[in-house]
Amino acid sequence: MDASIVESSSWTKGLAFSILASLIGAVSKLCLRKSYTILGADAVVPIPSNDETANLCDHAEKDEENTVYHDSCEDDVESEIREFASKEESLWWRKFRAFTIRAVGVFGMTVLGPSCNVYALQFASPGILCPIGSGLALVWIVLFSDRAIGEKPRPVQVLAVGLIVLGEAIVSVTGDHTNVSVLTMDDIQEQYREPQLLAYFGGVLIWVIILALVINRGSSGWRRFAWGLIGGSVTGVQNFIKDSLAVIHGLDGSHFPPQLFLMLLMAGLLPLTGLLLLMQ
């Protein structure tokens, strides 16, 4: 077997880290959703002003005149203040929980999950890792959303999970999973001039333009759907990540091609852009 072809035994490690990355991505998204759910349940707690305190006193005095039993004005005011203080403390704690959970989710989506994905790309082909990494995340979300955040998946989401599993099975059986571990910049330039790859980039661009037209002219439901498709399409362009790693593995330490900086920039920019689009 050629040394540039990764041994089949390494695929197990690559798939394991890709599945781990999908789990991290799902947990991170659930954390973000949970944080917004916590904040959405909060209400602004009003602090009683001097006028409101006086009204409480007047209210207590009037009730006494009507022979209705009440505690003294001072006791009523102190009770109200304690109640407001308790609500304020509870509100502060919920906000702290929400922002902590959100920080965990952001860290998982921007650092931990992508790190596992990049590490997995050293052992297996992106032709199979990319569908697993992006598709399984939605599967985990649908499976765990009811238990984690109390939101039951809708039938259309269950259908989407079934289509994802079917698509991954088709990709795993019919896809080209040859994984070259070492490339030179000459190999990269030759590869990026191939008509098939240029047609792929052109197709993605046309696809995004069509979806942009849907966003500008469609209904609110179709706009959300189009934003999701655009974000997923942009995030799915991950050839720059794998090619950058292959070039770095082939460097002898004495020469760092300037084109590699552009590839690394695209490798980091496209996933982040796709994530931002998915949040629209």
Q: Which residues pair with 5 in a beta bridge?
A: 180
Q: What is the pLDDT of residue 88?
A: 59
- Judge if pTM exceeds 0.75: no
**pLDDT single digits (tens) 156-195:** 878 877 877 787 777 767 665 666 667 788 888 888 899 9
> How far apart, in Å, are the Cα atoms of 101 and each of 91, 154, 186, 235?
15, 24, 46, 24
pLDDT of residue 118: 78
Burial of 159 (0-12, 13-18, 19+ CB in 10 A): exposed
Q: What are the residue ranges spanned by the domains of the chain?
A: 1-181, 182-280
Residue linked to tokens 């102190």? 78
Summarised one tens digit per residue, pLDDT across range 247-269 is 887 777 667 788 888 888 888 88
